[in-house]
Amino acid sequence: MLTTFQQYSTKYDVYSFGVLLLQIISGKRNSSLYGCHENLNLLEYAYELWKQGREAEFFDASLDDSSSSCKLIRCMQLVLLCVQENPADRPSMVKVFTILKNENSVAISVPKQPTYSITRYERKESIDVGRKKVFSVNDASITQVEPR
C-alpha cells in the first residue's frame, strides 16, 4: 500500500526526470528565461514550441541530425507529459521507460500545460481582478517586506 508521501514522491521523480531530460535535449538551463520576449521558463518555452510545431528550434544543435529528429520530437512530447501541471496526468516511470524502450510502438497522449507556468498565474490573476493580491502561488500568507 502506498502512502500519500510515496505517491507524491513517485510523481515528483517523474517531474524531475522530465526537467532533466528537457535540459539535456535543449542544452539550456532551467533557471533562465526564453522566448521572443524572454518571459518563459524552460518548460513553458518547450511547450509553446511544441504546440506551434516548432520543436526543432528547441533542440541542441549537436543532437539534431536527419535520423534522430523524429526521436527527439517524440522524446520532447514524452518529457512534456512528465512535467504536466496535474501530477495525476503525469505518466509513471514504468510508462516512461516503456515508451523510451519501445519507441514508436507505444502511443503518447497530448501533453497539457506544464507546472510552474507563469502564464497560468497571469491568467488566474486577470480573472481575480478586484480581489486582494496574494503574494504566493498557493495562497499561503507571506509577509510583504517593506523598507524602514
Domains identified in the chain and CATH numbers? 10-119 (1.10.510.10)
pLDDT for 90 equals 92
What percent of the chain shows pLDDT beyond 70? 68
pLDDT digits (tens, 9 = 90+) for 35-68: 888 888 899 999 999 999 998 889 888 886 666 7
Geometric angle at alpha carbon 117, from 32 and 31, rounded to 5° = 15
Whether the pTM exceeds 0.85: the reply is no
Cα distance between residue 112 and residue 50, in whole Å: 11
Q: Is the pLDDT of residue 128 over 60?
A: no
